[in-house]
């Protein structure tokens, strides 16, 4: 347990105590120490599990999950994190609940929270809606706790919204930190967050926004690349600029994938829908104009098809730092000739990076678990020290 003990000593030096009983909604709402603490707790949890120690923070309780969009990795990562800490997951299927009959957000939030310690929400489909909904739920459970309705105040974890995907970007960042041997080795490293062609429509902006909103905090050279017309939210670009200035790094936007990849240490080619189009879709959805949504989808697919050359190819990868940049993706990727005819990445590139891609994804359960621990444990250091001293076994056979 030398690794965990070293990480615990580093954790003691950080100021993260304001995270107690607080939600995790946007990475840029957290301090540098709070972000660092989340990484360290995630690494400690992983080390503990790999050493067959049971990190059950809870003897019982619920982790409620609400997914308003399809999910594989995040859904299973949330369930894994909750189970690791001793919570049972209960999905809220809105179609089978009173939400379908007009139940208010405030009522639903309180009704599902009587014995819930965590609520994980994914709501990424409509601009201006997802993060706002999470904050509405947060206010409702906070009031329910103050009024004595709830015995505990459930923590909200953003499992992806219209603005940010903090569990993804934090997992990606921890993968980068461990790949490059520590956060101190990241200053000056270039990361290309690039749009890439996809034959599908309406992918959320929260992944690229999450990346530029987080990676700019570490003194890195962050480049956002996309064709004209595929801009992200301007307020998130402002966050990236502010972070880069404070960290001594840089943030740049380009309309050239080749420029972004040149001498890059890390590349992240990923499709997303234009911000303006996502705003339009939200407006059409609010009006109940489903014919308009279908017409918009057709228009955007045609627009995407004009940029099929935005693909992560072997020739582009050769232009990166030493021709060997770390390729990243949140998965599933649109793999040319495999999952689609033409897509985000050549199959040979994807196949070469399959193992590190899976490792990248493997950090997410521990990141989510770390977010929960830092919110629910009043003194995480003392809890970890007790765990490592008693070493209760996770697997008994």
- Looking at the chain, the whole-number percentage of residues with pLDDT higher than 90 is 91
Q: Among candidates 165, 111, 133, 155, which has minimal Cα distance to 374?
A: 155
**pLDDT at residue 97 above 70?**
no
Instruction: Tell me, yes or no, if the two domains 2-164+364-390 and 168-361 fold the same way.
Output: yes
Furthest CA-CA distance within the chain: 62
Domain 2-164+364-390 matching CATH 3.40.50.1370: the answer reads yes
DSSP state of 154: P
Q: What are φ and ψ of residue 392, in 5° steps? A: -65, 135
Ordered by start, the domain boundaries in the chain are 2-164+364-390, 168-361
Quickly tell me which residue has 């619920």 as its tokens: 62
Architecture of domain 168-361: 3-Layer(aba) Sandwich (3.40)
pLDDT at 387: 84
Q: What is the pLDDT of residues 126-180, one digit of tens each?
A: 999 999 999 999 999 999 999 999 999 999 999 999 999 999 999 999 999 999 9
Beta bridge partners of 90: 64
Grade residue 99 by pLDDT with cuts at 50, 70 and 90: low
Name the token pair of 177.
């930190």
Judge whether 259 and 225 are in contact, CB under 8 Å. yes
Judge whether 85 and 373 are in contact, CB under 8 Å. yes
DSSP state of 224: E
Contacts of 90 (CB under 8 A, 6+ apart): 62, 63, 64, 65, 112, 116
Q: What is the pLDDT of residues 29-77, one digit of tens each?
A: 999 999 999 999 999 999 999 999 999 999 999 999 999 988 889 999 9
C-alpha dihedral (385, 363, 226, 182), degrees to nearest 10: 50
Tell me how far apart the alpha carbons of residues 332 and 338 are, in angstroms, rounded to a whole number.
12
**pLDDT at residue 101 above 60?**
no
Q: Cα–Cα–Cα angle for 13, 218, 23, nearest 5°? A: 65
Mean pLDDT calculated for residue range 173-192: 97
pLDDT at 100: 55
């Amino acid at each position: 347990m030398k690794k965990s003990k070293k990480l615990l000593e580093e954790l003691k030096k950080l100021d993260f105590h304001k995270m107690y009983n607080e939600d995790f909604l946007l990475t840029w709402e957290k301090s540098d120490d709070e972000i660092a603490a989340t990484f360290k707790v995630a690494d400690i949890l992983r080390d503990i599990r790999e050493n067959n120690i049971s990190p059950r923070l809870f003897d019982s309780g619920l982790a409620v999950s609400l997914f308003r969009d399809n999910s594989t990795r995040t859904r299973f990562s949330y369930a894994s994190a909750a189970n690791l800490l001793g919570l049972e997951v209960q999905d809220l299927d809105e179609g089978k609940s009173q939400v379908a009959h007009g139940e208010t957000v405030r009522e639903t939030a309180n009704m599902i929270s009587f014995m819930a310690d965590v609520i994980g929400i994914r709501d990424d489909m409509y601009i201006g809606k997802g993060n706002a909904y999470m904050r509405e739920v947060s206010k409702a459970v906070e009031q329910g706790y103050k009024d004595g309705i709830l015995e505990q105040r459930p923590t909200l974890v953003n499992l992806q919204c219209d603005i940010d995907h903090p569990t993804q970007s934090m997992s990606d960042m921890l993968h980068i930190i461990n790949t490059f041997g520590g956060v101190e080795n990241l200053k000056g490293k270039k990361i290309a967050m690039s749009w890439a062609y996809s034959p599908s429509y309406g992918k959320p902006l929260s992944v690229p926004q999450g990346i530029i909103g987080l990676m700019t905090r570490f003194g890195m050279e962050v480049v956002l690349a996309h064709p004209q017309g595929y801009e992200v939210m301007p307020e998130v670009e402002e966050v990236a600029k502010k972070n880069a200035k404070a960290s001594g790094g840089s943030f740049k936007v380009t309309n050239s994938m080749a420029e972004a990849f040149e001498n890059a240490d890390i590349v992240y080619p990923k499709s997303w829908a234009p911000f303006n189009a996502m705003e339009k879709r939200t407006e059409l959805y609010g009006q109940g104009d489903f014919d308009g949504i279908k017409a918009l989808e057709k228009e955007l697919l045609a627009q995407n098809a004009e940029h099929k050359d935005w693909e992560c190819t072997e020739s582009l990868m050769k232009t990166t730092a030493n021709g060997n940049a770390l390729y990243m993706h949140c998965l599933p990727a649109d793999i040319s000739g495999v999952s689609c005819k033409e897509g985000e990445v050549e199959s040979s590139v994807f196949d070469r990076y399959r193992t590190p891609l899976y490792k990248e994804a493997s950090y997410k359960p521990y990141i989510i678990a770390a977010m929960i621990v830092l919110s629910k444990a009043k003194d995480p250091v003392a809890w970890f020290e007790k765990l490592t001293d008693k070493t209760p076994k996770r697997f008994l056979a």
